Amino acid sequence: MSKYTVAVVGATGVVGQEIIKTLEQRKFPVKELVCLTSARSEGTRIEFNGKYSISRILDENSFEGVDYALFSAGGSISEKFAPIAVKAGAVVIDNTSHFRMDPSVPLVVPEVNAQAVKKHKGIIANPNCSTAQMVLALKPLHDAAKIKRVVISTYQSVSGAGKEAIKELESQTRHNLQGKPSEAKQFTKDIAFNVIPHIDVFEDNGYTKEEMKMILETQKILEDDTIKLTATTVRVPVFIGHSEALNVELSEELPIEKVRDLLRNMPGVVVMDNPSKNEYPTPKLLAGRDETFVGRIRKDISNPKAIDMWVVSDNLRKGAALNAVQIAEELIK
Ligand code: L14
């Protein structure tokens, strides 16, 4: 089997670390792991396959001999360095939002649109975490009875926003329990004992960028811009795992058992839906798992053609690292 030189850009970040763990767990054929970071994290010892790799500063010459470069260090880093990596001969898998809507860049969730990988011109984009788990649940329904409209509410954990955001939820929780006030730095409001209807920046239409990403990326991945979507994305005081309440209007009425079967047969999806036993997915239960879990599946009593469901996945796994590594696996098939 061939082996590849793999670079991870943002190697000491929350997603970078998860990517390295995932490459190891899934036994991706790595000849050499190149860990790239900012000057601040230079020289960090990173364990991989029982050996240590020392992180180096990302620069213009970092990609010599690199086959695959997985980027997770922010949009401006991808904007500058992804083209440099491509020029050096690497294929880039980008975790940021920077290239996702570029028509020449495939946006891929392998269980949904693996074929799109083939059209790449050097860069492949990994979708937004909330989009990735949602399209897994939407795809089989769309194939069976064309989705007309989706109404989305999300409950998103802090880990997507990085290490400092994780620390802020920890320290604010501790402080507030001791009756001390806390200072909001990573989010616009306190995140402990709170919910914040604001992820990423506001756009002119009143939506946040996170909401618009869910809308536009879903249309691109499902290759159908006639699907209408609307979303409210909300940050909740959870460390890992995003949850989503979806109302999905189909173009025809499907029996609810049929809907369950379609979801059960979808790769990457697990139906966890047993209300009589209080069984439904929650982030605390499912953090660390690769699959996307769907529960609370029911007919919308206000519309016979619509389905309500609750979708939970680990935002660092399917929402980021796992999906990126799965794209790399498609490339070496
Ligand atoms: O990749 O949770 O588009 O604050 C931007 C928002 C990643 C998660 C993306 C967050 C996201 C992030």
Over the chain (333 residues), the average pLDDT of each successive run of 10 is: 94 98 98 97 97 97 98 98 98 98 98 98 98 99 98 98 98 96 94 98 98 98 98 98 99 98 98 98 98 98 98 98 98 97
Q: Where are the alpha helices (DSSP H) in the chain?
A: 14-25, 75-87, 110-113, 129-145, 163-177, 209-221, 256-264, 283-286, 322-332
- The domain that contains 202 carries what CATH number? 3.30.360.10
pLDDT in tens, 20-49: 999 999 999 999 999 999 999 999 999 999
- Report the pLDDT value the prediction gives residue 1, as an integer from 0 to 100: 72
Query: Which CATH number is 122's domain given?
Result: 3.40.50.720
Residues counted in the chain = 333
- What's the pLDDT tens digit per position in 276-299? 999 999 999 999 999 999 999 999
Same domain, 13 and 84: yes
Instruction: Looking at the CA of residue 96, tell me the nearest atom of ligand 1.
Output: 1
Token pair for 318: 């399917």
Atom 6 in ligand 1: which residue has the minimum CA distance? 200
Work out how many domains the chain is built from and give that number: 2
Cα three-residue angle 47-10-217, rounded to 5 degrees = 125
Mapped onto helix, strand or coil, the DSSP state of residue 33 is: strand
Cα-to-centroid distance, 164 and ligand 1 (Å): 14
One domain for residues 259 and 145: yes
Q: How far is the CA of 274 from the centre of ligand 1 (A)?
A: 31
Residue tagged active-site, from 98, 120, 142, 242: 242
Domain check: are 171 and 221 in the same one? yes
Same-domain check for residues 143 and 108: no
**Are 100 and 146 part of one and the same domain?**
no
pLDDT in tens, 238-276: 999 999 999 999 999 999 999 999 999 999 999 999 999
Q: Are residues 114 and 218 in the same domain?
A: no
Same-domain pairing of 103 and 147: no
pLDDT for res 75: 98
Sheet holding 228-235: strands in order across?
A: 228-235, 147-156, 242-250, 306-313, 292-299, 269-271
Are 301 and 195 part of one and the same domain? yes
Beta 306-313 vs 45-48: how paired, if at all? unpaired
Residues 198 and 301 in one domain: yes
Q: Which two tokens stand for residue 330?
A: 């498609």
User: How many angstroms separate the alpha carbon of residue 282 from the centre of ligand 1?
Assistant: 20
Q: Which residues contact 295 (CB under 8 A, 6 or more apart)?
A: 271, 272, 273, 279, 280, 281, 309, 310, 312
Nearest Cα residue to 318 out of 90, 133, 41: 133
Distance CA 71, CA 77 (A): 8
Pairing mode, if any, of strands 147-156 and 242-250? antiparallel
- Ligand 1 centroid to Cα of residue 230, in Å, is 18
Same domain, 58 and 164: no
Angstrom distance (rounded) from CA 126 to CA 316: 12
**Six-digit token string for 50:** 């029982």
- Nearest Cα neighbor of 289 from 246, 328, 241 is 241
Q: Atom 8, ligand 1: which residue's CA is nearest?
A: 160
Question: What's the CA-to-centroid distance between 285 and ligand 1, angstroms?
Answer: 22
Q: Whose CA is nearest to atom 7 of ligand 1?
A: 160
Q: Is residue 37 within 8 Å of residue 54, measured between CB atoms? A: no
Are 135 and 122 found together in one domain? Answer: no
Closest atom of ligand 1 to 100 CA is 3
Judging by DSSP bridges, how do beta strands 4-9 and 68-71 pair with one another? parallel
The DSSP output letter for 318 is: I
Q: Determine the structural domain holding residue 49 and report its residue range.
A: 4-126+320-332
Spatial neighbors of 110 by CB under 8 A, at least 6 apart, are: 117, 323, 326, 327, 329, 330
Would residue 142 show up in a list of annotated catalytic residues for this protein? no
Find tokens 């919308």 and name the residue: 300
Active site residue 129: yes
**Residue 40 corresponds to which tokens in the numbers above?**
């601040």
3 state DSSP class of 161: helix
Residue 23 tokens, joined? 């490459």
Pocket of ligand 1, beta carbon within 6 A: 96-97, 128-129, 156, 160-161, 199-200, 210, 213
